[in-house]
Structure 1
Amino acid sequence: MLVIPAIDVREGKCVRLVQGKLDEETVYSDHPVAVAHSWQDLGAKWLHVVDLDGAFAGRPKNLEVVREIIDTVKIPVQFGGGVRKLDTIEELLSIGVARVILGTIAIIEPALVEYACKRWGDRIVVGIDSKDGLVAIEGWEATVEKQALDLALEMKDRGVERIVFTDTRRDGTLRGPNIESTRKMAKGSGLKVIASGGVSSLEDIKRLKELEPEGVEGVILGKALYSGKVSLEEAIAVAEMEEN
């Protein structure tokens, strides 16, 4: 199972929010590019970069930072945050983003997701953010009357192969991931799932790793890494441990 460090960028800085709330922000570094290098040096095989300003504005706002990260690290980067147009996807892929994560647009214009999947294949990922079982959109400021699993199945029908699944109630809280909802999402959708939100210990990673047979192929770590609760090297060791 992959362990993917998160780099959340707001106003050019590396930050973490609690449950997506801007008024609960902690700045961890003024230099996201240096942070990217540190995770690479510690063994990360992927990076998860989110443009928080973009998520709220509806279009990416920190592309220069993203470009610099991509130009200076050797590992692939998946990116999300305000990607709602085809030309934005094209621009991101052209500057070297390995996978583009679509969120709100999956609700408001699912045909665009279908077209993107046909054109770019598995370089398109859908981020499904669940708030009490319902889909959260627009930087988690709103929810829609649609169950997260129902959206996953719709996206699968439109050609999506992989999702990032986040329980927004857990994100940034260090309360542990929602194992049961992650299991239901992976098993019920049949999609490849990258779990996100709430991981706080190596035990959490072990529990998510048990879901690999169901389709959970990775976990995104944010606050657990930045607060020192979890060592990236130890997390990778646990995630890559072979079962007896």
Structure 2
Amino acid sequence: MILFPAIDLKNGKAVRLYKGEFSTAHQVADDPLATARAFYAAGARYIHMVDLDGARSGSRQNGAIVQAVAKESGLKVELGGGIRSMADLEDVFALGVWRCVIGSAAVSDPDFVREAAAKYGERVAVGIDAMDGIVKTAGWERSSGLNYLDFAKSMETMGVKTIIFTDIATDGMLSGPSFDRLAALQKTVACHITASGGVSSNADLDQLNAMGLYGAIIGKAYYAGTVDLAAAVKEAGEQC
């Protein structure tokens, strides 16, 4: 299983939120690039980054930091937040990003998803963020009314190969992932599935790995010291 230690960016700083609430943003690291290098030193080879400014407003604010991490950390960068057009994809890939995550635009502009998947294949993922099983958009501030399983099936039919699923109720809470909803998603689509939200311990990661998931994102647990990243990498297997 691929491990994606995470850096969320807001106003140029590495922050974490509780349940996606922007009012709860708090800085967790002084230097995003130094943090990324620490991930690499622990054995990680991938990083999940989110431009929270872009996710909320559609205007990406943190490109210079993303570019520095992509070019200087040794990690493959998976980036989401404010990617809403083919031009956005091209701009982000030009920063050295390995994979882009389409979030809100997957709901509002499915034709964009279809075109992106056709052109970029595995380099495009769709982020499905749900509260009580209902997909939310615009930095988790708007409800789409769509069931997450139905939406995942529609994304698969458009050629999407990778889905990043976040149960918003668990995000930043160190309460454990939403194992049941992840299992239901596994039964619904054949896409690669990355679990996001709620990871609180190495035991959680072991359970996700045992489920056969493609990947897991590690956020607050790393910064809180409740996950040993180096040990998790050894348990998860080869990271390439």
**1:181 Cα offset (Å):** 0.3
8 Å CA contact 1:103–1:127 kept in 2: the answer is yes
Corresponding residue of 2:215: 218
Corresponding residue of 2:46: 46
Q: Which moved more, 1:156-165 or 1:19-28?
A: 19-28
Alignment pair present for 1:81 and 2:81: yes
Cα offsets for 1:187-235 (capped at 9, x unmatched): 21111100010010111111111210xxx11100000000001110111
5+ unaligned residues in a row in structure 2: which ranges?
A: none
Q: For residue 24 of structure 2, what is the amino acid of its counterpart?
A: E
For 2:18 and 2:44, how far apart are their aligned partners in 1? 24
For 2:106 and 2:59, how far apart are their aligned partners in 1? 15
Alignment pair present for 1:195 and 2:199: no
Alignment pair present for 1:235 and 2:232: yes
For 2:181 and 2:168, how far apart are their aligned partners in 1? 12
8 Å CA contact 2:69–2:75 kept in 1: the answer is no
Q: Give the CA RMSD over aligned residues.
A: 1.1
Q: How does 1:69-218 map to 2 (within 5 A)?
A: 69-212=69-212, 216-218=213-215
> May I ask how many residue pairs the two structures share in their alignment?
238
8 Å CA contact 2:135–2:144 kept in 1: the answer is yes
8 Å CA contact 1:59–1:84 kept in 2: the answer is no
Corresponding residue of 1:15: 15
Q: Report sequence identity in percent.
A: 37
* TM-score (normalised: structure 1): 0.95
For 2:37 and 2:83, how far apart are their aligned partners in 1? 24
For 2:27 and 2:92, how far apart are their aligned partners in 1? 25
Greater than 4 Å deviation, 4+ residue runs: none
**1:91 Cα offset (Å):** 1.0
**1:61 Cα offset (Å):** 1.2
Q: For residue 93 of structure 1, what is the amino acid of its counterpart?
A: F
Q: For residue 177 of structure 2, what is the amino acid of its counterpart?
A: P
Q: For residue 190 of structure 2, what is the amino acid of its counterpart?
A: G
For 2:234 and 2:75, how far apart are their aligned partners in 1? 18
**1:237 Cα offset (Å):** 2.0
Cα offsets for 1:112-146 (capped at 9, x unmatched): 01001111111010000011000010000011111
For 2:56 and 2:82, how far apart are their aligned partners in 1? 7
* TM-score (normalised: structure 2): 0.97
8 Å CA contact 1:12–1:30 kept in 2: the answer is no
8 Å CA contact 1:129–1:136 kept in 2: the answer is yes
The DSSP-based 3-state class of the residue aligned with 1:194 is strand
For 1:229 and 1:120, how far apart are their aligned partners in 2? 36
For 1:97 and 1:145, how far apart are their aligned partners in 2? 31
